[in-house]
Amino acid sequence: MNLATGIQKAIDYIEEHITDELDLADIARQAACSPYYFQKIFGILCDITVGEYIRNRRLTLAGSELKKPNVKVIDTALKYGYESPESFTRAFTRFHGITPTEAKREGGRLRSFSRFKVQIILKGGNSMNYNIVKKDAFTVLEKVEQHTVIGEQNLNSVPGFWGRAHSDGTINTLLEHAADRTYIYGTCYGNGHTNAETFDYGIAVECAPDTIAPEGFRVNTIPARKWVVAECTGPMPEAIQQLWHELCTEFFPTSDYTPTYEMDIEAYPDGDMTSPDYKSQIWIPVVDE
């Protein structure tokens, strides 16, 4: 299943169950990938989080429903997943700019957020620096934290992990044990095609196989794989976010390779990450279609 088809199936599932209690694992299952990778790819392709999409669609439909006669605000609030009229009113007002009571009045203007239909538009003309690399298994020393996609907490917790790593000595400890100091890796273990709503994320360096991990760190083997290794130039995080977008919208839809969804690696060399000349990489394990 290609990226666009998988995301569209998941969107159709959301729409069919829009008044039910939606679970990210159930939604991701429609796209045949883990909740982490579904969340990531959905955000890249649709430029909005899964939670925001569901919330905007529910509030759009709730607004239309309140225009009907004899429809009560409390009934609409409960139907679209709000526990109280007060929480519904706050969300409705932020979205539409008017309260539910005002929306019931004739002439109340409402905002509309349309159902998504995913289309990959091939623009052409863009070049991407990438290689297909068969790499033997290698060993990394990494500091690992578990993160959750529930409530989209990982969108804040992963950047927070990097911030702490720079301030609490984690990066220095890793570099002291590195066999190759070319890159510091962000190793994301995305759980392949499972329904797991948590995932391990590591900050790592390549090390010797016999390295003894300091307390709080672990030595791990990255298995032999075929990788798409793509490079970008520019300041972080904008440059690498743009590269992810290009990979999902341009490279994979037109290539003969499919991500395995087991993990991905972002590779950061030493240097000024705010520089327009800073170079970084994304490594994605793939299989031939």
Q: Provide mean pLDDT across the span 178-195.
A: 91
Contact between 87 and 215 under an 8 Å Cβ cutoff? The reply is: no
> pLDDT exceeding 70 applies to what percent of the chain?
96
pLDDT tens by residue, 35-60: 999 999 999 888 899 999 999 999 99
- Can you give the pTM of this predicted structure? 0.84
Q: Is 281 exposed, middle or buried (0-12, 13-18, 19+ CB in 10 A)?
A: buried
All domains of the chain, ordered by start, with CATH? 3-104 (1.10.10.60), 129-288 (3.20.80.10)
What is the pLDDT, as a whole number, of residue 193? 78
What is the pLDDT, as a whole number, of residue 124? 52
Distance of CA 186 to the CA centre of its chain: 14
pLDDT tens by residue, 222-265: 999 999 999 999 999 999 999 998 898 888 888 889 899 999 99
pLDDT exceeds 80 at position 121 = no
What is the pLDDT, as a whole number, of residue 185? 98
What is the pLDDT, as a whole number, of residue 20? 96
> pLDDT exceeding 90 applies to what percent of the chain?
76
Q: Provide mean pLDDT across the span 122-147.
A: 84
pLDDT tens by residue, 138-177: 999 999 999 999 888 998 999 999 999 999 999 999 999 9
Q: Provide mean pLDDT across the span 76-102.
A: 95
pLDDT exceeds 70 at position 127 = no
- More confident of the two residues 125 and 149: 149
C-alpha distance across the termini of the chain, in Å: 10
What is the pLDDT, as a whole number, of residue 128? 66
What is the pLDDT, as a whole number, of residue 189? 95
202 bridge partner residues: 144, 187
Mean pLDDT of the chain: 91
- Residue 88's alpha-carbon distances to 65, 99, 188, in angstroms, are 14, 9, 36
3-state secondary structure the chain: CCHHHHHHHHHHHHHHCCCCCCCHHHHHHHCCCCHHHHHHHHHHHHCCCHHHHHHHHHHHHHHHHHCCCCCCHHHHHHHCCCCCHHHHHHHHHHHHCCCHHHHHCCCCCCCCCCCCCCCCCCCCCCCCEEEEEEECCEEEEEEEEEEECHHHCHHHHHHHHHHHHHHCCHHHHHHHCCCEEEEEEEEEECCCCCCCCEEEEEEEEECCCCCCCCCCCEEEEECCEEEEEEEEECCCCHHHHHHHHHHHHHHHHHCCEEECCCCEEEEEECCCCCCCCCEEEEEEEEEEC
- More confident of the two residues 259 and 2: 259
Range of 93-102, 185-194, 247-256 with top mean pLDDT: 93-102
Q: Is residue 1 very low, low, confident or very high in pLDDT (cuts 50, 70, 90)? A: low
